[in-house]
Structure formats: structure tokens, C-alpha cells
Structure 1
Amino acid sequence: MRTLLAALGVAAMALGAWLLLGVRDPLDVAVWLAGAIVLHDGLVAPLVLGTGLLLGGLRARGAVRGALIVAGSLTAVALPVILRPGTPANSSVLPLDYGRNWLAAMAVIGLFAVGAAVLGWVRGRRRRSSGE
């Protein structure tokens, strides 16, 4: 399984490198990648780790940290579209309300985190009551 996953990872990196060759302005891609690294290392990772430390004794800390990882990743991808200046000249370029849709996605992530926490709590109670 490890070999298969490694091969898939190498294939994905090769595809990314091949697609990068067709980019007109690689400097824009480099700036975006640098921004993503700074956002991840400067904001998302400390937030997830800090929350994990603050919730150290809480059973649902895994669900909370998982939700923060997914929410942070989605925010890093969606932020350029949400913060775009003005309206595009062509209305079909970005036709959706990305801020509202991002909030809806955050709500769904939160609901899944609560669901995972409740499921873990129920499983824990069942184990304790059955004497496992």
C-alpha cells in the first residue's frame, strides 16, 4: 500500500510539474505558492496546534482539529476569490457569491465536526457500559 501511495504521489507531482510548464506567468504561481506556505505555517498550523493544546483533555479534540485543518485549507484556497477587488468585466468569470458559499461550507464542516464528536461520545459510552 505504501508503494502504491508513493507512486500515486510521484505521478501527481509529475502531472503538476507538466501543467506548470503551460503557465504563462510562473511568477504568479510562485507568489501564490509562497502565500499558501506563509498562510499555512503562520496561521493555520499554529491555530490547529494551539486549539489542540487548549482542548487537551477534551475527547472531541480530534474532531475539532480535523475541522480546523479542513476549514483552514478551504479558506486558503477560497481567500483569493473572496477578497478579489471589484467586479470582473465579464460577469460569467466569477458568477457566484463566494463569500456566502464559503460560510455555508464552514457551517457544513462545523456540523460534521459536531457529528463526529457526538459519534465518538456515543461510542465511548457504549464501550464503558458494556465493560470493554
Structure 2
Amino acid sequence: MRTVTVLRHALGALGVALVGLGAWLVAAEPDPLGVLAWLVGALVLHDGILAPLVLAVGLLLVGRRRRGLLRGALLVAGSVVLVTLPLLVRPGAPPNPSALPLPYGRNLLIVLVAVAVVTGVSIAVAWGRERGRGHRQGRATADD
């Protein structure tokens, strides 16, 4: 048997074992239906909202000159939002008062603005370099 086939079977068996472990851990929870409802909600949120949104943004970026910078900025902004969103939308006071010692909403907005500013400056610098390079090349061909 080839090494790739053995590796594929081993990884498949590991995946099945981890799914079994996850099912056992859910069953051991005091409220397994609550955990399952959360999992279904996460699945609907991801497949029904997040994935189509990412695909739509990807379609909008096709053919853009600085799409790598834009994708990087969107990845950073999306990651920051995903990390802070559970703390922001949780109702009531946090169980640990040190979990939210600062105003997360304001700080999230500051980070998102910083990401947008850094992205904008990076795009402007790249555009300026490209324009300067084209301008110098244009002069060199005019002198020939």
C-alpha cells in the first residue's frame, strides 16, 4: 500500500474518532440540547450568512489591483470581530468581571478604523510607487 493511502486512512480514522469523542462529550453535558442548538446555530450562521458574504466580497474584489491588501484587511477585521463579538452580544454582566474591563465596542471600532487606515495608506504607497515607476519609464522612452 502506498504511503499516501495509509496516511489518508489514518487521518480518516482519526477524524471518525474525534467525531465520536465530540458526540460523547456533548452527551456528557448537563444540557446536551443546548449544545446541539448552539452547534446548529453556528452551522446556520456560517453556511447561511458568513460563507455567502465572503463569496460575495470575493466576487466584488475580482480584477481589483490591490485585492491582496484588501483581502488581508478583511481577514484581519473579520478575525477581530469574531473574537470580540461573543463578548459584545452576551446578555447581562460577564461571569468574570475582568473579562470586560474596557469598553469593547469602542475598542473594536478603534481597531477596525486602524485596519482601514493602514490598508488605505498601504494602497496609497503602492499606488504612488507604481505611478512614479511608470512616470520614470515614460520619460526614459520619450528620451530615446
**Does TM, normalized by the shorter one, top 0.5?**
yes
Tell me the secondary structure at the aligned position of residue 131 of structure 1. helix
SS at match of 2:100: coil
- Distance apart, 1:90 and its partner CA: 5.2
In the superposition, the TM-score normalised over structure 1's length comes to 0.60
Change (3 A) 1:123 1:48: farther
> Offset of 1:40 from its aligned partner?
6.3
What is the aligned partner in structure 2 of residue 71 from structure 1? Answer: 77
2:86 & 2:113 partners in 1: Cα distance?
20
Give CA-to-partner distance per residue, 1:73-107, whole Å, 9 cap, x none. Answer: 11111111111211236543421111111111000
- For 2:90, give the aligned amino acid: R
Change (3 A) 1:49 1:123: farther
* Separation in structure 2 between the aligned mates of residue 64 and residue 118 of structure 1, nearest angstrom: 12
**Which residue, out of 100, 108, 118, partners 1:102?**
108
Residue identity matched to 1:101: N
Indicate whether 1:113 and 2:115 are aligned. no
* Same amino acid, percent of matched pairs: 46
Aligned mates of 1:45, 1:122 — CA distance in 2: 34
1:45–1:74 distance in 2 versus 1, CA, 3 Å: farther
Shift of 1:51: 2.7
Aligned-pair distance for 1:45? 5.5
Classify 1:49/1:88 alpha carbon distance in 2 versus 1 (closer, same or farther; 3 Å). closer
Look up the match of 1:56. Answer: 62
CA drift at 1:123: 1.0
CA contact (8 A) 1:39 1:76 kept: no
Deviates more, 1:122-131 or 1:52-61: 52-61
Comparing both structures, which one devotes a greater share of its residues to helix?
A: 2
Contact map agreement 1:48 1:69 (CA 8 A) in 2: no
Q: Distance in 2 between matches of 1:114 and 1:60?
A: 10
In the comparison of the two structures, how many residue pairs are matched?
A: 109
- 1:5-44 to 2 correspondences below 5 Å: 35=42
RMSD after superposition: 3.4
Kept after mapping to 2: 8 A contact 1:82/1:98: yes
